[in-house]
Chains A and B, each alone.
Chain A
Amino acid sequence: MITVALDKTADDARPWIEAASPTHPTLIDPRHVLADLYNVVNVPTIFWIDERGRIVRPNDVAFGADTFKHITGLESARHLAALRAWVRGEGPALSADEVRRHQPLPTEDHQRARAEFGLGQWLWTQGRTAAAERHFVRGGELAPHDFTIRRGTMPMRGIDSMGPQFREMLQTWVGAGQPYYRPLPDTAGASGSGSAR
């Protein structure tokens, strides 16, 4: 297991990591390198990668516990059971065809949004926060479904990421019929031995 925190500083992620006292690498990614390479648009996003370095479960949403189940509607048990079965060799990953079907690919506008994030993040590290703000906003306009930009920059902009501005953004988005979380459909990976259920 490898975890990557899309946080503005190591200190933002530190309390959670130290409380978990993990044995696996727990990495910090203020520049959103992972989001750029893997087309991550929200957290949590998980990937399964096999022994040969191939993605065998792309961009899925899974929680490790049910702490937020009442809000997200997503249960941890299904993914954990499927993951355990895959790791033990008792259950399937996704086939190459399914991975291809479910792998989201970035557009030109999305990469421009990520460049706006990158410029804003660099300006923020230089203390040029007013300038950073306009690039974070522009990034969110170019990729409105990317909450690593729209919500993930809130801590750099002095906005409470759990507060009224976030709730308003979420209500508008969900009210327009757009999903905040994009888990793979239940059928993904279920075509193998069936033990992944």
Chain B
Amino acid sequence: MDRFTIVDDERAAEIPARLTGGRVLLDPAALKDTLGWEMHDGLLCSDAMCIPVADDAALVREGGIDLEGFARTLDRALAVDVEEHAAFLGGSARERAQALASQHAPDFTLPDLDGRPHSLSEQRGKKILLVAWASW
């Protein structure tokens, strides 16, 4: 078994995986221990929710959880680098679009120059000018 790193938000989980025919098959027990997801009775479940699995065979292969099928079931964008043994789970287009269409400003928490975290929601009750900029 190889070790594969899955980056999900700020977490980087190392999960034993088998690489076969361009596919990444994750160890189910390790997936549960690290990212908190497990398969049972045709459902992919975490502590918070269960998602019905449309195509069992595409998700569970040779005793492993197929990484692409896993991301598709969670409706997450996926980038994979098989050589580097690393993957990134990104945001769902559907979720992001729904959130923006609701016109509620999505909350976020980011650090300042001293590493102190600040959240948008701390400013509730004020009018806010939010500016994205960069030195480049």
Contact = CB atoms under 8 A, between A and B. Distances in A.
A194 interface: no
Interface of B: 7, 10, 12, 76-81, 83-84, 86-93, 96-97, 99-101, 103-106, 108, 110-113, 115, 118, 120-121, 123-136
Given A7-B136, A37-B106, A131 B131 contact: no
Contacts of B79: 112, 115-116, 118-120, 135, 138
A3 to B, nearest CB: 5
Q: Is the interface of B mostly helix, strand, loop or mixed?
A: mixed
B104 A55 contact: yes
A87 B136 contact: no
Contacts of A10: 111, 113, 115
Given A39-B100, A54-B103, A6 B90 contact: no
Contacts of A64: 131
Given A1-B131, A4-B110, A36-B96, A105 B101 contact: yes
A76 interface: no
A66 interface: no
B111 A28 contact: yes
Contact of B104 (A36, A54, A112): A54
A106 B123 CA distance: 26
B2 to A, nearest CB: 16
Given A10-B113, A33-B110, A100 B103 contact: yes
Given A87-B127, A131-B83, A115 B113 contact: no
A129 to B, nearest CB: 11
Contact of A53 (B77, B89, B121): B121
A27 B77 contact: no
A27 B112 CA distance: 4
A34 B134 contact: no
B134 A47 contact: no
A51 interface: yes
Nearest 8 pairs between A and B by C-beta? A115-B90, A119-B88, A161-B136, A111-B77, A27-B110, A115-B79, A119-B79, A115-B77
24 contacts: A1-B130, A2-B129, A3-B131, A4-B110, A4-B132, A5-B133, A5-B135, A12-B136, A13-B113, A13-B135, A25-B118, A28-B111, A28-B113, A34-B108, A36-B90, A38-B100, A38-B106, A52-B124, A53-B105, A55-B100, A55-B105, A103-B101, A106-B93, A152-B134
Q: Which of B76, B100, B125 has the most CB of A within 10 A?
A: B100
Contacts of A131: 81, 83-84, 86
A122 interface: yes
B126 A6 contact: no
Contacts of B97: 105-106
Given A100-B101, A115-B77, A122-B86, A1 B129 contact: yes
